[in-house]
A and B are shown apart, each in its own frame.
Chain A
Amino acid sequence: MQDDQLIIADKAYNSRLLVGTGKYKDLDETREAIEASGAEIVTVAIRRTNIGQNPDEPNLLDVISPDKYTILPNTAGCYTAKDAVRTCQLARELLDGHDLVKLEVLGDQKTLYPNMVDTIEAAEILIKDGFKVMVYTSDDPIIAKRLEEMGCVAVMPLAGLIGSGLGICNPHNIRLIKENATVPILVDAGVGTASDAAIAMEIGCDAVLMNTAIAGAKNPVLMASAMKKAIEGGREAFLAGRMPKKAYASASSPIDGTFF
């Protein structure tokens, strides 16, 4: 499967699993889980530096080195287009001009559902400013297409609410979004366990982005490994083309030659 690469903004990746770095016990666990996941694109959040923090304390980017991983800064926690744009600009400065970002503008604290009006506004500004925008979106096929037409480099519909682990709540919409798309479609948010990731890939999604499904597992490093396999299995099943579903049985062993 060497030639089956994921291409995002003209860069090729062998892994179709993208992972977040939140909610881990410590930086060691973060590093081990990310290594086990095989992910090449890793999301991070941008926050105030803690004043008075021990200066020797390791920095996340010392553990998840930009030399080794494609760092995908996100705008998590932003509820307005303005805050999201500002966060991306700080991230670009932080990462020495790196311009690939994950745009998410949230609508409400209870659901963390995306605010698509502000998301579209922010995407417009960011694309004009030279950013390569991977955009978190609701699973509305019309909105998803619009984001692609605007110039987003990847469109990332939610499969379920962020951190919910509810799985692929509306596979039909994800399928519709994928059918209409020419940019990569990633399921972002909602995956709870390995089978959810496999289903996303079997539908034909190009990749899956997850955080809590790994970090919130009892054994995050083992779950990271499970997710890697589920993504690969789901992708291969998609490429292989599944058998048609039938209402009745179809014997696997020949009927000819029976001696009873």
Chain B
Amino acid sequence: MKIFVNGEPRQVQDACSVQDLLAEMDIVGQRLAVEVNEEIVSKSHHEDYSFSDGDKVEIVHAIGGG
């Protein structure tokens, strides 16, 4: 199925979890926050939250700013 990660379309397996996606992107363990369709998916739910087709995923982190 197709989801959108930070605005970019991405093919993922059915029942792909947030944790699976982070592993695929090689960013497990980094300080980040995940939102699906404008709802936060907390760290404690990364393993059990599975995407649905067309989900809009945002993965954010802290960068320099004032």
Contact A60 B66 (CB under 8 A): no
Find the A residue at minimum CB distance from B61: A49
What chain B residues lie within 8 Å of A46 (beta carbons)? 33, 60-63
Residues of A in contact, count (CB < 8 Å): 38
CB distance from A144 to the nearest CB of B (A): 20
What chain A residues lie within 8 Å of B35 (beta carbons)? 86, 90
Find the A residue at minimum CB distance from B28: A55
Q: Tell me if B27 is interfacial: C-beta within 8 Å of chain A.
A: yes
CB distance from A58 to the nearest CB of B (A): 11
Contact A71 B33 (CB under 8 A): no
Q: Among B33, B64, B66, which residue has its beta carbon within 8 angstroms of that of A90? A: B33
Residues of B in contact, count (CB < 8 Å): 26
Contact A21 B65 (CB under 8 A): yes
CB distance from A41 to the nearest CB of B (A): 12
What chain A residues lie within 8 Å of B25 (beta carbons)? 51
Considering the chains assembled together, what is the distance between the CA atoms of A138 and B20 in angstroms? 45
Residues 202-231 of chain A, each 1 if its beta carbon lies under 8 Å from chain B, else 0: 000000011110010000000000000000
How many A-B pairs have beta carbons closer than 8 Å: the answer is 102
Residues 5-27 of chain B, each 1 if its beta carbon lies under 8 Å from chain A, else 0: 11110000000000000000111
What chain B residues lie within 8 Å of A22 (beta carbons)? 64-66
A90-B40 in contact given A48-B60, A49-B27, A49-B60 (Cβ < 8 Å): yes
Q: Tell me if A239 is interfacial: C-beta within 8 Å of chain B.
A: no
Contact B43 A60 (CB under 8 A): no
8 Å CB interface, A13-53 against B: 19-24, 30, 43-49, 51
Contact B6 A21 (CB under 8 A): no
CB distance from B37 to the nearest CB of A (A): 12
Smallest CB-CB A-B distances: 5 pairs = A20-B66, A45-B65, A211-B66, A94-B33, A93-B33
**Chain A interfacial positions (CB closer than 8 Å to B):** 19-24, 30, 43-49, 51, 55, 59-61, 71, 73-74, 76, 86, 89-91, 93-96, 162-163, 209-212, 215
Can you sample 28 A-B contacts with CB below 8 Å? A22-B64, A22-B65, A24-B64, A43-B65, A43-B66, A44-B64, A45-B63, A45-B64, A46-B61, A46-B63, A47-B61, A48-B6, A48-B7, A48-B58, A48-B60, A49-B32, A49-B59, A55-B30, A60-B61, A60-B63, A74-B66, A76-B65, A86-B35, A93-B42, A94-B33, A94-B62, A95-B31, A163-B66
